[in-house]
Amino acid sequence: MTVGVNVSRFEGIAMAPPDPILGVSEAFRADTNEKKLNLGVGAYRTEELQPYVLKVVKKAENLMLERGENKEYLPIEGLAAFNKATAELLLGADNPVMKEGRIATVQGLSGTGSLRLASALIERYFPGAKVLISSPTWGNHKNIFNDARVPWSEYRYYDPKTVGLDFEGMVADIKAAPEGSFILLHGCAHNPTGIDPTPEQWEKIADVIQEKNHIPFFDVAYQGFASGSLDQDAASVRLFAARGMEILVAQSYSKNLGLYAERIGAINVVCSSADAAARVKSQLKRLARPMYSNPPVHGARIVANVVGDPALFGEWKAEMELMAGRIKNVRQKLYDSLMAKDKSGKDWSFILKQIGMFSFTGLNKAQSENMTNKWHVYMTKDGRISLAGLSLAKCEYLADAIIDSYHNVS
């Protein structure tokens, strides 16, 4: 008797490579070394390196329980109270854009989902238009535009010689882009480098974008979490809006409210008229419907409750300052440890010039692999480390690992 072999209809599907960021955490979990450090994923940790749920989030959730709110479907565009709160948080409640109704805001599935929805809008209504992204950028940006079939190219951003901003290269590449391109900008705390333009440089970037009739497309994932100030971290976006430019802005509340798993964010489109904003919003809703129908309510209610209640809003700002402050302290301690231990005379001051949860160490792929293989420090292969996953107590150990990898691995 012969036994037939069933050949899968999916035989032609190859195994996908592990995600370069999320795969770091999988490798970290499998490591049994007690000194191991996970500096790969951008998620805030306490000084004890434990996940942190903000106290203000717990209070907002208790309010929701007390009110006995239902679980009915939201409209396609999301929770109205959230959309109002998130747009005001971005631009300021008194901004003329808000008063004139020139903004289309649709709740999205955190930053990723909001970027994906905007990409679908670009693909449908700006066929052939190119998106320019910084080199380097967040690992998922390219995936999002590729899947949306939106062509992209890179503009210079990181200068390995100075471990700083290649501002002249950035401006030149934006100038050279085809007129009417979308220029993807990180509103604050550039990921992965932690290197932001100065206020004066932002003005010049805006000049070039206006001259070339480009459309600014901001990714704002760290408002309030970078500097500790919501207003300061939104300054770049507000500068462009104040010039009367039409802009796209994706927002996320994963970092600043610690709502990683709630997938709460928004896509905002600032238009030249209220009529244009209404039409853009209608088409964003049309695109969202076959993608995911409508967004989840829980995270939206948390944000709306926190931003809408003056007492809770004040508590949130205080907690953000504490989180941003802890990362600044860790950044300083790491720099101090590197300077004390490295006798080569290398200048590590670029670490202090960077901002936000990430630091771009300047380590290459081989050096980054040495960090993991020898020192059990898990990080992405581009040399990015998440300072949010580092404690003051571990700074000296990390400094030893960086110094060894930098000087002893080519």
**Residue 127, token pair as written in the block:** 């066929």
Q: How far apart are CA 2 and CA 200, in angstroms?
A: 77
Neighbours of 86 (CB within 10 A): 27
375 labelled catalytic: no
207 labelled catalytic: no
SS3 of 362, please?
A: coil
**204 Ramachandran zone, left/alpha/beta (phi>0; psi -120 to 50):** alpha
Nearby residues of 70 by Cβ (< 8 Å), 6 or more positions away = none
Q: How far apart are CA 99 and CA 101, in angstroms?
A: 6
Nearby residues of 274 by Cβ (< 8 Å), 6 or more positions away = 100, 101, 102
Helix (H) or strand (E) holding 145, with range, is helix 139-147
**Residue 44, token pair as written in the block:** 């805030």
Asked whether the beta carbons of 388 and 44 are under 8 A apart, the reply is yes
Catalytic residue, candidates 59, 130, 138, 375:
138
**Residue 174, token pair as written in the block:** 């934006």
Asked whether the beta carbons of 147 and 116 are under 8 A apart, the reply is yes
Catalytic residue, candidates 173, 219, 375, 394:
219
**Residue 328, token pair as written in the block:** 């600044």
Helix and strand totals (H; E) in the chain = 16, 13
255 labelled catalytic: yes
Helix (H) or strand (E) holding 276, with range, is helix 274-292
Q: How far apart are CA 8 and CA 22, in angstroms?
A: 28
The label of the residue with tokens 């004040």 reads 314
- Strands 264-270 and 247-252 turn out to be antiparallel
Neighbours of 23 (CB within 10 A): 14
Catalytic residue, candidates 59, 130, 173, 255:
255
Q: How far apart are CA 52 and CA 259, in angstroms?
A: 10
Residues in the chain: 410
With residues binned 3-state (H G I as helix, E B as strand, rest as coil), the percentages for the chain, rounded to 5, are 50, 15, 40
Instruction: Answer positive or negative: Cα dihedral of 263, 267, 268, 273.
Output: negative
Among all residues, which ones are annotated catalytic? 138, 219, 255
